[in-house]
Amino acid sequence: MTDAGELIAGRYRLSMRIGQGSMGVVWRARDERLDRVVAVKQLDYDAAIGPAAGEQASQRALREARLTARLRHPHAITVHDVVEAPGGPYLVMEYLPSRSLAEILLDRETLPAEEVARLGAPIASALAAAHAEGVVHRDVTPANVLLGESGVAKIADFGISRATGEGTVTGGGFIAGTPAYLAPEVAGGHEAGFPADVFSLGATLYRALEGAPPFGNDDNAITLLLRVAKEETVPPRHSGPLAEVLTRMLQRDPEARPSMAEVQELFEAVDGGRPLPPPRPRPRAGTRLLRVRRPRRRLVLAGVAGAVLLALGVLIGTVLVPGGTTTVAAPVSSAPPAPTSSSPAPTTPADLGCAARYEVTNSWPGGYQVQVTVRNDRAADLSGWSVRWQLPAGHRISGLWNGSFTVDGSTVTVENAAWNAKLRAEATTTFGLIALTQNGSDDARPALTCRTL
């Protein structure tokens, strides 16, 4: 058990506990090297998930934190450092004397519309910056919106929620955590993409305005999760431009929601008393087409996830919604990899219908980040795509966003997410991934094959 006064990693002196939750303990501490106050989150996991799952969650947390440490934004809590030490791992973050929106709502129940609008713009700007870096928050809730003593608003815990198993789809195929702020597609078993963050921010601000989340409250987490997955939101009692913005954000169809950058513009318009820009037209058929194309795989995955759920029981309120899940991670076999090319990926032949470009956007000892751009080369719209390549020797994928992936031997196959399945002629979309290496090299540039579905 870590105690006050302990020195972590020869640098961070713990002084007092300032928070505790299912993800562990948060300490106020002093960085003795730079002589500054920091917050240190000691990651811990519910004993019910077992030591193996806890270790896996710990490693995911470290990978996610290393990715999100690149984000620097005035309305996002900064991750300064990630350290592994006895009693850890530990995340070292910016210290902000603050109260969470959840704490404030316990006292006030609701906030005036003008306060909600002023709060929405800076949080949306931070999330938009994260999305531009390929980072999905996955757990936007009132507990993760912090209001500082000076009035500044900041979003906390970028990307950590998935790793710690709070409010997200886990690798085992079940959903853990409080479901009140989940997007319907996540409650239904899909991966959390950028549109899921838009919905969750909308649900968080709806709670501040209306006094309850958009699907209401229920002590039975399973019942509430089923409601999120299958039913419609409760229409807001308030009217006016703010209610319209929240309604746009809370659309059940992920493709019908605005992007986070558009959400920022909408809140700035409300706060400035300007007319709202009209919704931008978006394709709406991708999700329905995806469900028709892949029923058998969904049923198999749903059965596996259900078996895991029955074996482990309910963790903090868990459920698998019948109708499918998605592959978030897959084991990499020890089969030898096929030869790869170190040159940039060539353009996919035109008869395959799409092309994919592979770019390493960040690297560190033992790992790297990749962005893959998929382009529709056809004159007509496409309604689904997949990208395949060979993993270099000693490499493995530890996480992927904006799609689902499987690994068969050394062959990686990525398929579109529900919300980015449909591409107009010459349009593009992207997905990203984190890969770990045994040799510390990110030099390989595999040849990609993109096919339409």
Contacts of 450 (CB under 8 A, 6+ apart): 348, 352, 353, 354, 355, 356, 374, 385, 386, 387
Locate 397 and state its tokens: 């994928």
Locate 413 and state its tokens: 């196959």
Phi, psi of 248 (to 5 degrees): -65, -40
Q: How far apart are the C-alpha atoms of 304 and 430, rounded to whole Å?
A: 29
Phi, psi of 405 (to 5 degrees): -140, 155
> Per 3-state DSSP, what percentage of the chain is helix, strand, and coil (rounded to 5)?
30, 25, 40
Bridge partners, residue 43, by sequence: 24
**Length of the chain in terms of residues written:** 453
Q: How far apart are the C-alpha atoms of 105 and 109, rounded to whole Å?
A: 5
Locate 79 and state its tokens: 């991750």
Closest CA to 367 of 86, 65, 129, 159: 65
* Active-site residue flag, 139: yes
* Other beta carbons less than 10 A from residue 364's beta carbon: 12
For CA atoms 193, 198, 199, 203, give the dihedral sign: positive
Catalytic residue among 3, 35, 46, 139: 139
Rg (CA), the chain: 22
Q: Give the catalytic positions in this structure.
A: 139
